[in-house]
Chains A and B, each alone.
Chain A
């Protein structure tokens, strides 16, 4: 039968991953993690897939998912960081109070870190699935995408915050800009704003270096989690060999 030639070869309990064109292409973080769990489960059952299975397009898809996540989650953290530093330096109120306690200061800092750390921790949950060719390749590409996105976010934030400090909020620029609001806003209010912005601008400089720490933690979280998991499973295997 002619049609029979087009059918894939039967697999006797072997790998059933994705479509004929290779592994499935993730559209978002959830589908990427589901795909990795699927590869890992199949590779535990039936051994590693052939090297050609995970195509270049699959690698790029996983990289893109990690990259988008790293960039977006990092930008949320980048927006919250100057606010947190503003709270710590008593410029911005927290819980309606202008005099933050130590708890409030720590909480503001924790909130600014949480989004990107949570994202990195969510990706780290695949650490146990680092088992065969396909799952390893998928995880490597996802994490390297996350790292690239985080580094790009770092560059954007560094440039943006320095631009805020040296150009936008520089006294010679912010003064004329505020004066344009004069008919709408009273002069004493504008004067207060000018003074506040003049004092607040150094927060952007501090934030641009705090973001380096955030980026480091975002990248290090999944990398360390995967390394620890790999070391743990290697030790387990050696122990099993010893015990026969």
Chain B
């Protein structure tokens, strides 16, 4: 079944390396990591998400959105370290 799809080249359309070089692709991801999970912007986004979690969850009585924002805060705060540890582990 899957070999039929891959035989038609349909899955190849989803391969990002068909459109950009590997170096460029790795650069994009490391830039995204640098921007969102570390440095000033990561700290700012995490702080805004935490404030948003209280604003929506407690003040605006939308606990679902509050919990969602809280988990985004936790993810941004600790995922950077987790990725670093995983990269250290694989190297």
A69 to chain B, nearest CB (A): 10
Complex CA gap A92/B79 in Å reads 11
Inter-chain contacts of A110 with B (CB < 8 A): 50
Interface string of A87-120 (1 = CB under 8 A from B): 0000011111110000110011011001100100
B→A interface (CB under 8 Å):
33, 37-39, 42-43, 46-47, 50, 53-54, 57-58, 61, 63, 66, 70, 73-74, 76-78, 80-81, 83-85, 89
Q: Render A138-159 as a binary contact track against B, CB cut-off 8 A, 1 for contact.
A: 0000000000000000000000
Say yes or no: B84 contacts A93, CB within 8 Å: yes
Interface of A is mostly: helix
Within 8 A of B (CB), among A72-90: 80, 83
Question: Is the C-beta of A213 less than 8 angstroms from some C-beta in chain B?
Answer: no
Q: Given A95-B46, A118-B53, A118-B66: A111 and B77 within 8 A (CB)?
A: yes
Residue of B53, B63, B74, B77 touching A95 (CB-CB under 8 A): B77
A-B contact count (CB 8 A): 74
| Cβ A95 vs Cβ B57 within 8 A | no
9 smallest CB-CB distances across A and B, nearest first, come from A96-B80, A93-B81, A96-B38, A121-B58, A95-B38, A95-B42, A122-B58, A95-B80, A118-B57
Give min CB distance, A242 to chain B, whole Å: 34
